[in-house]
Structure 1
Amino acid sequence: MHYRTSEVWQLAMDMTADVLHTADYLPFRERFGLRLQITRAAVSVPSNIAEGWTREHPKEKAQFLAIAQGSLAELHTQLELATRLQWIPPADFDRLLEQIDRIGRILTVLRRRYRAPGAAR
């Protein structure tokens, strides 16, 4: 299966598009600060899923999925900070958090599958 047909990559792409639109709420002065961090973390998620998907060895796949999951945690933290600073509406944060949680659960299952002894390629 190609990564573009995987549910987790498609969800991550949708989330990233939503995050990039939501980042427009941040003050202009944050374009090289928190906004840049948010957009980089968001883009990192589907990018690392795609890269991991193309790796042949299960441990490498798991490593890139772990990086994607770490980027999700960064993104969650950064969005929460922006929401606490009242730069992002709470309803938008809640919507993004649902996406982050869903993607995180899928990544956890995939990582466990690839870390298991005799993991499928």
Structure 2
Amino acid sequence: MKDFKNFVVWQKSHQLTLDVYKMTHNFPKEELFGLTSQMKRSASSIPTNIAEGCGRNSDKDFARFLIIAFGSANELEYQFILSRDLNFINNESSEKLLFQVEEIKKMLNSLISKLYNK
């Protein structure tokens, strides 16, 4: 069993989730059950799937959960773009968040590759 808290990708995705919760606090109230909720679910799904995968018995199972986390990162990336285009966040915030999610995606991809090439 691996300790998920030791993975830098988990640490970064946890921080991104905290950032999403802070950012969406200022979204329009009519988005509470729409985009706000979707973004929180997508963001929290990344570190959640990393944590769950760490509790699995094989590298293959762990990799499967990392792939799910990667999919959630892609969802979140689009939601950042949508939020920017709807003027819910400014360009500067958008660029910062998109950089964070891209970094996480690269880290996930690298870890997935390592697990499959063992």
Pair in the same fold by TM > 0.5: yes
- Name structure 1 gaps, 5 residues minimum: none
Alpha-carbon deviations, 1:44-75, whole Å to 9, x = none? 00000111122121111111000000000000
Partner residue, 1:52 = 53
Aligned to 1:22: 23
RMSD: 1.0
Preserved contact between residue 83 and residue 89 of structure 1 (Cα < 8 Å): yes
Looking at structure 2, the residues matched to 94 and 7 of structure 1 have their Cα atoms a distance apart, in angstroms, of 21
- The equivalences for 1:42-81 within 5 A come to 42-81=43-82
CA distance in 1, matches of 2:26, 2:76: 16
Structure 2 Cα separation of the partners of residues 25 and 91 of structure 1 = 16
Listed as ranges, the gaps of 5+ residues in structure 2 are none
The runs of at least 4 aligned residues of structure 1 exceeding 6 Å deviation read none
TM-score normalised by length of structure 1: 0.92
| 1:25 Cα deviation after fit | 2.4
* Structure 1 equivalent of residue 3 of structure 2: 2
Distance in 2, Cα, partners of 1:101 & 1:79: 12
Per the TM alignment, residue 82 of structure 1 is displaced from its structure 2 partner at its CA by: 1.0
Q: Give me the identity figure in percent.
A: 36
